[in-house]
Structure 1
Amino acid sequence: MNFATFCFIVFGVLLNAVAQLLLKAGARNIGEIHITLANIFSVGWRVATQIPIIGGLACYVLSVVLWIIALSRVDVSVAYPMLSLGYVVTALGAWYLFGEALSMQRLMAILVILVGVAWLART
């Protein structure tokens, strides 16, 4: 895998992680969502008009474009496991931005992911 392809993969994964964090921020703005037939449109409108949610969806679109470019250059069996980097970025971002817990077990799992991705990138 060359450097440019690696960059497409990494930036695609990072955009995907940012999308998750923006969606979480938008969901926090709304509060716990309970959908019924009576409120489906009002809840849908509240969700659709949240700036963080709109930003998260835009990040998803951009990440898909980068992902398609990456898949045109590298085997899916190499690219797909790189998506696990998203778990790392999202977990760290959720800890930093939202105060979510990062236990020792989660940190060790993140380390395993990082070692696996580094190993895979060298093939």
Structure 2
Amino acid sequence: MIKVFEHGYIVMTVIFTVYSQLVMRWQVSAAGPLPVDMSGKIGYVLNLILNPWVLSGIFATFLAGVSWMLAMTKFEISYAYPFVSLNYILVLAAGFLLFNESINAAKLAGSALVILGVIVIAKG
């Protein structure tokens, strides 16, 4: 039972990372195109950095780091790190569902290989 709880550190790393990526994508899309001039770019970035949603994403990235440190106290990196690749799968699925991004056969095949790889490493 303890190992199940300890895997929660890895799960939280993935959840916080995915949350951060999705919030950043959402808020950058909402902010519009990046200005061409340097002062416009600086204002664009400052505006994003002060956005509460972006701040929550930055905080989630921090929490992902904390969760990862806790995971490293319980697992070898060679075991734990492959689970982080599940970020790709979750962000791909969320991009499709939330942002109408495209998914094709190659992305699905690659995702299946990533999932299979994580299963093989977890069993090994």
TM-score by length of 1: 0.90
Deviating beyond 4 angstroms after TM superposition, the runs of 4 or more aligned structure 1 residues are none
Give, in angstroms, the shift of residue 118 of structure 1: 1.4
Give, in angstroms, the shift of residue 40 of structure 1: 4.3
Identity of aligned residues (%): 20
In the alignment, the residues of structure 1 paired with residue 61 and residue 93 of structure 2 have an alpha-carbon distance, to the nearest angstrom, of 19
- 1:43-62 equivalences in 2 (<5 Å): 43-62=44-63
Deviates more, 1:40-49 or 1:74-83: 40-49
Q: Does 1:3 align with 2:4?
A: yes
CA displacement, residues 20-42 of structure 1 (integer Å, 9 cap, x when unaligned): 00000110111121364333442
For 1:113, give the aligned amino acid: V
In the alignment, the residues of structure 1 paired with residue 17 and residue 39 of structure 2 have an alpha-carbon distance, to the nearest angstrom, of 33
In the alignment, the residues of structure 2 paired with residue 85 and residue 118 of structure 1 have an alpha-carbon distance, to the nearest angstrom, of 11
- Would you say the 8 A contact 1:26–1:51 is kept in 2? no
Give, in angstroms, the shift of residue 80 of structure 1: 1.4
Deviates more, 1:110-119 or 1:2-11: 2-11
CA displacement, residues 70-113 of structure 1 (integer Å, 9 cap, x when unaligned): 01111111111211000001000111110000111111111111
- Tell me what 2:105 maps to: 104
Give, in angstroms, the shift of residue 15 of structure 1: 1.2
Unaligned runs of 5+ in 2: none
In the alignment, the residues of structure 1 paired with residue 110 and residue 38 of structure 2 have an alpha-carbon distance, to the nearest angstrom, of 41
In the alignment, the residues of structure 1 paired with residue 95 and residue 42 of structure 2 have an alpha-carbon distance, to the nearest angstrom, of 29
- Would you say the 8 A contact 1:14–1:89 is kept in 2? no
CA displacement, residues 32-57 of structure 1 (integer Å, 9 cap, x when unaligned): 21364333442232111223211211
- Would you say the 8 A contact 2:34–2:41 is kept in 1? no
CA RMSD of aligned residues (A): 1.7
Q: Does 1:16 align with 2:27?
A: no
Unaligned runs of 5+ in 1: none
Question: Number of residues paired by the alignment?
Answer: 123
Larger helix proportion of the pair: 2
In the alignment, the residues of structure 1 paired with residue 67 and residue 107 of structure 2 have an alpha-carbon distance, to the nearest angstrom, of 28
